[in-house]
Amino acid sequence: MNSTTPQWLGWLKRYRRSLLAGDISAGVVVAMMMIPQGMAYAMVAGLPPVAGIYASIVPPLLYALFGSSMTQSVGPMAIIALMTAAALGPLAAPGSALYMVLAAQLALVTGVVLLVCGLLRIGFLANFFSRPVMSGFTIGSALVIAWGQLPALVGVALPPVRLSSLYLPIHLPIHLPSVLLGGGALVLLLAARVWLARLLRALGLGPGAATIGARLAPMAVVLGATVLVAWLDLAAAGVKTTGAVPAGLPGLNLALSHGHWRALLQPALLIAFMVFLISMSAAQTLALKRQEKLHSNLELIGLGAANLGSALSGAFPVTGSMSRSAVNFSAGANTPLASVITALLLAFALVAPTGWLALLPLPVLAATIIVAVLGMLELATLRTALRYDRGDALALVATAGGVLALGVEAGVVIGVVLSMGTLIWRASRPHIVVLGRIAGTEHFRDIERYPGDTAPGLLLLRIDAGLFFGNVDAVKARIDEELAAHSTHCATRHLVLVLSAVNAIDTSALFGLTELNALLRQRAIKLHLAEVKGPVLDRLKTSDLLVTLNGKVFLSAAMAWDELANELANELATQA
The interface with its own copies within residues 253-312 (CB under 8 A) comprises: 280, 284-285, 288-289, 291, 293-294
Distance CA 215, CA 441 (A): 64
Positions 349 through 368 that interact with its own copies (CB under 8 A): none
Q: Which of 164, 266, 503, 566 touches its own copies by CB under 8 A?
A: 503
Positions 425 through 454 that interact with its own copies (CB under 8 A): 425-428, 431, 449
466 binds its own copies (CB under 8 A): yes
Which range touches its own copies (CB under 8 A), out of 35-43, 198-206, 223-231, 420-428? 420-428
Positions 483 through 502 that interact with its own copies (CB under 8 A): 484, 501
How many of the other CB atoms lie within 10 Å of CB of 55? 38
Q: Residue 252 phi/psi, 5° resolution?
A: -75, 115
Cα four-point dihedral sign 64, 65, 70, 72: negative
Residue 128: CB minimum distance to its own copies, A: 6
Which range touches its own copies (CB under 8 A), out of 36-44, 64-72, 347-355, 535-543? 535-543
Positions 126 through 185 that interact with its own copies (CB under 8 A): 127-132
Residue 160: CB minimum distance to its own copies, A: 23
401 binds its own copies (CB under 8 A): no
Pairing state of beta strands 319-320 and 74-75? antiparallel
Ranges of H-type helices in 291-321: 296-312
14 binds its own copies (CB under 8 A): no
Residue 31: CB minimum distance to its own copies, A: 29
CA distances (Å), 106 to each of 253, 307, 316, 427, in order?
A: 13, 9, 7, 38
Q: Residue 160's closest CA among 168, 410, 102?
A: 168
Distance CA 156, CA 312 (A): 32
Q: Which of 257, 297, 354, 543 touches its own copies by CB under 8 A?
A: 543
**DSSP letter string, 493-506:** -EEEEE-TT---B-
- Torsion angle defined by CA atoms of residues 275, 40, 216 and 198, in that order, rounded to the nearest 10 degrees: 90
Pairing state of beta strands 319-320 and 432-437? unpaired
Pairing state of beta strands 74-75 and 458-463? unpaired
Residue 145: CB minimum distance to its own copies, A: 24
238 binds its own copies (CB under 8 A): no
Positions 367 through 386 that interact with its own copies (CB under 8 A): 381, 384-385
Which range touches its own copies (CB under 8 A), out of 9-17, 57-65, 148-156, 388-396? 388-396
Here's the x/- map for its own copies, 84-123, by CB under 8 A: it reads as: ----------------------------------------
SS3 content of the chain, % helix, strand, coil (to 5): 65, 5, 30
